[in-house]
Amino acid sequence: MSTLADLLAEHTTLADHAAAHLQRLVAEWQLLADLSFADLLLSVRTDEGEVVTVAQCRPNTASTVFPNDEVGTVIEPRANPQVLRALATARIVRDEDPAWMGAMAIRREAVPVGYEGRVIGVLTRAVDLTHPRLPSPLELAYQDSANDLSQMVADGTFPLPEGNPRGLSTPRAGDGFIRLDERGIAVYTSPNALSAFHRMGWTSELSGTRLSEVAASLLTDPFESEDLGIMLDGAAGVHEPPAGPYRDIGMRMEVDASRATVLIRAVGLRPGGRSSGAVVLIRDVTEVKRRDLALISKDATIREIHHRVKNNLQSVSALLRLQARRTPNSEVRVALTEAVRRVASIALVHELLSGSVDEEVDIDEAVDRLVPMLVDVASGESPITVRHNDRIGVLASDRAMPLVMVLTELIQNAIEHGFAEPKPDARIDIEADRDVRRLRIALRDNGSGLPEGFDLASSNQLGLRIVQTLVSIELSGEVTAGPNPAGPGTEVLVTIPV
């Protein structure tokens, strides 16, 4: 089954950051579906001008109105004109009359997905109106919050990138729901949320209380009490959202009370840029936390393995460097020095993985740490400036390892061969262009250029053979070399699918 990233890559040429916003929306939209009692469909305009559905979500709080999979369906303008109107007007479009699907009456609402001042998709809310009834206070509180979130989707303010350094999960609306007003006062509390607070030690009603004060009074850690109060009041709009040292707290916390451990998440409501309070979700995770301790232990073991591999590789690198200094043969010394550099690049990736919880590597950080080492070792009397101009991004460890080695070899090759003769303004530029389909990295230098008749495919240099092998086999990409279009020197292009 195709993922959202696959479908966006197939049907659109959205920029990487716009596609990331849609990914965040789909990651968070279960909350909107549950609060709306509605099915959600995400549609985008294709490069051919059609509108196709690329994601679907069903509510946990109501029966679905779309039992079949709608992903991949092209929207017909006559059957669903409000989607096209939302795309054209950048405004929420609500139908006056429900549409009928067999014996089911469906009310649709098209919400434009805003991002940086433009519409990059449409979110359709579809609700079954076949059996109308008087809504309960819980349903009214849900729907009021859902309307605020829908307006924030149109504004481009939901969801925003949110710090979650501990990788905490998200409680569902059914786990426990609290609606706060702009003063941080609880105006509605669901029965499940009240039960969670009772297990934490609270014995009274929550409605009408300042939730930040109540929650903070129940926690055993005074620092967690302060952080939780700042988070809840910041989400509600009592003061600015967490900033400075509190920014990394994010808007979710796992906290310990005297009797229970709960997961709390706060979602600020800012429809139209105006504070409207917050939605607070809460779940009792006392038993789940006990099981997670075993997984945390395994994760720590994996990171420790990466750390030890890094240490072992550094030991190997030190032995090779020592041997290179003692050998009288200059060719052997060069070969050992190159081996030291290659081992060091692999060790660096393992060092980054030892501090990662998701087996991913920030390539930009790796490049920024490798460049000074390469320049110091190989530049000699010719000072060389290496400029890292664009962000490459994050890759999984199995793709990061070969890419870092490729970049190491190319930078080293440019330093050794492009600037064999000293040059006062020697420069290497690393530029990247990444979208939902591919990553392209260009290395351009202003050195002596390629020798006449040079052919990358037939080159017998070990470094270039390593580059070709890693790019074609490990990364399933392409590498080309030619003159620098911006002036003298060489340009090497590496293109890999992402």
Q: Higher confidence at residue 258 or residue 379?
A: 258
**pLDDT tens track for 45-69:** 998 889 999 999 999 999 899 989 9
Asked if 73 contacts 52 with a C-beta cutoff of 8 angstroms, the reply is yes
Residue type, 42: L
Which parts of 117-258 are beta strand (E)?
A: 118-128, 177-180, 186-189, 252-256
Say what the pLDDT of residue 244 is.
44
pLDDT greater than 80 at residue 298: no
Which DSSP helix (H) or strand (E) runs through 55? Answer: strand 51-57
Any idea how long the chain is? 498
Confidence of residue 212 (pLDDT cuts 50, 70, 90): very high
Structure confidence by residue, pLDDT tens digits, 279-290: 999 999 887 777
Residue 378 has pLDDT above 60, yes or no: no
pLDDT at residue 248, rounded to an integer: 40
The values of phi and psi at residue 79, to 5°, are -80, -25
Q: Would you state the pLDDT for residue 246?
A: 39
Secondary structure class of 21 (helix, strand, coil): helix
Mean pLDDT of the chain: 86
Q: Is 155 helix (H, G, I), strand (E, B) or coil?
A: helix
pLDDT tens digits along 164-182: 767 778 899 999 999 999 9
Task: Tell me the helix, strand and coil percentages in the chain, rounded to 5.
Answer: 45, 25, 35
pTM: 0.61
At 51 the pLDDT is 93
Whole-angstrom distance, CA of residue 160 vs CA of residue 152: 10
Q: What is the pLDDT of residue 357?
A: 64
Query: Percentage of residues in the chain with pLDDT exceeding 90?
Result: 41
Highest mean pLDDT pick, 98-107, 276-285, 408-417: 276-285
| 260 pLDDT above the threshold of 90 | no
Answer whether residue 26 shows pLDDT above 60.
yes
pLDDT of residue 249: 44
Q: Examine the pLDDT at 163 and tell me if it is beyond 90.
A: no
Task: Report the distance separating Cα 469 and Cα 466, nearest Å.
Answer: 5
Q: Which long-range contacts (CB under 8 A, 24 or more apart) does 425-431 make?
A: 426/379, 426/382, 426/383, 426/384, 426/385, 427/384, 427/385, 427/386, 427/387, 428/384, 428/385, 428/386, 428/387, 429/386, 429/387, 429/389, 430/367, 430/386, 430/387, 430/388, 430/389, 430/390, 431/389, 431/390
Cis bond before residue 135 (omega within 30° of 0): no
